[in-house]
Amino acid sequence: MRRWLAAHWRAFSATLARFAGAPLTSLLNVTVIGTALALPLGFYLVLSNLQGLARDYSPQPQVSIFLNIDAQEADVREITQRLKSQPGIAGFRFVPRDQALKSLQSRTGLGDVIAGLGQNPLPDAFVVDAGRKATALESLRAEFARWPKVAEVHVDSDWARRLDSLLALGRYAVLMLASALALALVAITFNTIRLQILTQRDEIEVAKLIGATDGYIQRPFLYLGSLIGCTGGAVAWLMVWGALWVFNGQLRPLAELYGIPLTLAHLNGSDSMATLLFAGGLGWFGAWLSVRRHLHHYNPS
């Protein structure tokens, strides 16, 4: 075990030395990779922040339950008890038919017309503050419609459907962009490792002549690919952090005008670590492809 760890440490140390020994080449590689990763990472952050802002500042959707005209007080009490035990709702209020009629008179200016009616045509109603997902709203509507003495159930879910559709479209766009740029990262790493293999051609041939295994020879190249990927991920993280810092400075006057804490949040610790691991994994994969493609050409005669 110690020998295995020592072999990996020597390979990693040699990789660090080679990486630091060509600072300009290494800087260009990680800058290109960082820029490619910063684009989908930035779009992901913007999408996440927009989703949070929509959740915090969008109006609470409501479900309106209209009872039958012949509903009695006992029916109202039963539905009240059902709503109190109903999961997934934030609250509710009862709107008596007389109160609804008075509100209609004050808002429409049709007091004379309404006064000429023989009886109140409006039913008792409940206004329920529901969840923010369109699927949850439709589920509540279907359940409320089955309750006794319920005539109609209206759902204010159009905005929720639009918001869900826009966010889903944004997620697909980010996924497609990330996939395309991930392929670019693999291609960059592939070409970088290929050049390293060409420059070390004589060393590889000598190592194979004295009995070095393929695993021993390819180990430094795999470490180099992972190091390039992780460093590129760190550069992308810094780029996005700087962009958010500048953008939040420009948003501050707008937030003060509207009196809301309008600030875009950066990646948390787990997302930052996932970004570095993802970038390192792509770098390792590109290096592995390059090693598999080019290393078998160097065989001792």
Average pLDDT, the chain: 77
pLDDT score, position 134: 56
Model confidence band, residue 68 (pLDDT cutoffs 50, 70, 90)? confident
User: Which 3 state secondary structure label does DSSP give 91?
Assistant: strand
Pairing verdict, β 125-130 and 89-95? antiparallel
Go through the domains of the chain in sequence order and give each one's CATH number: 2-57+162-297 (no CATH), 62-156 (3.30.70.3040)
Answer yes or no: are the C-beta atoms of 281 and 229 closer than 8 Å. yes
| CA dist., res. 38 & res. 32, Å (int) | 10
The mean per-residue pLDDT over the stretch 97-117 comes to 61
User: Which 3 state secondary structure label does DSSP give 95?
Assistant: strand
* pTM above threshold 0.85: no
| Higher-confidence position of 165 and 289 | 289
Q: Give the dihedral of Cα atoms 71, 84, 141, 144; nearest 10 deg.
A: -40
pLDDT in tens, 227-244: 888 888 899 999 988 888
Choose among 189, 207, 202, 203: nearest CA to 293: 189
| CA dist., res. 139 & res. 123, Å (int) | 23
